[in-house]
Amino acid sequence: MIPRTGPALAAAAVAGLALVPASAPASRAHAAAYKTCHMSAHDAQHMGASYIVDGQYKVQAVSCAEGKKVIRAFHACRRAHGGAKRGRCPVTASVLRFHCREKRTVSGGVLTGAVTCTRGSRKVFHYYSNFL
């Protein structure tokens, strides 16, 4: 004889769902996706680097205006710690309470940096280039 577990399983599943709050947040990966922001050509050339690549940057859980302020502050930190060309913002430094990490490459006299600044779940990402 085959036991009838179908109705019992369905009742247990419904009871289990009642324990999960209706407003339970989605996973962090889906909670806030990166948003692409744009800046004018003038701003892209006057943020403290030779230029911000494509005048684009990405933000997550931050407004584009706030992201632009973080980028400007990061490059001010770079200039304060080694100059405009080869300066580095120390990993221990805080930029508007964001902590920034940078990966660099040098090719053909051009330094290109990929910068991610984080503050909890808030993130600002941009590429910049400097002519050496």
pLDDT tens-digit map of 62-87: 999 999 999 999 999 999 999 888 89
Q: Which two tokens stand for residue 2?
A: 């085959």
Task: Kindly report the pTM of this predicted structure.
Answer: 0.73
Going from N- to C-terminal start, the domains of the chain cover: 35-131
pLDDT for the residue 2: 45
Q: How confident is the model at residue 108 (pLDDT cuts 50, 70, 90)?
A: very high
Please write the tens of the pLDDT for every residue from 6-53: 444 333 333 333 333 343 344 444 446 899 999 999 999 888 878 898
Residue with tokens 């006057």: 46
Q: Is the dihedral of CA 63, 45, 52, 38 positive or negative?
A: positive
pLDDT for the residue 85: 85
Position 119, amino acid: R
pLDDT for the residue 54: 87
pLDDT for the residue 58: 97
pLDDT for the residue 32: 60
pLDDT of residue 95 exceeding 50:
yes
- Biggest CA-to-CA distance, the chain: 82
Query: Which among 69, 102, 70, 108 is positioned nearest to 87, based on CA atoms?
Result: 102
Chain length of the chain: 132
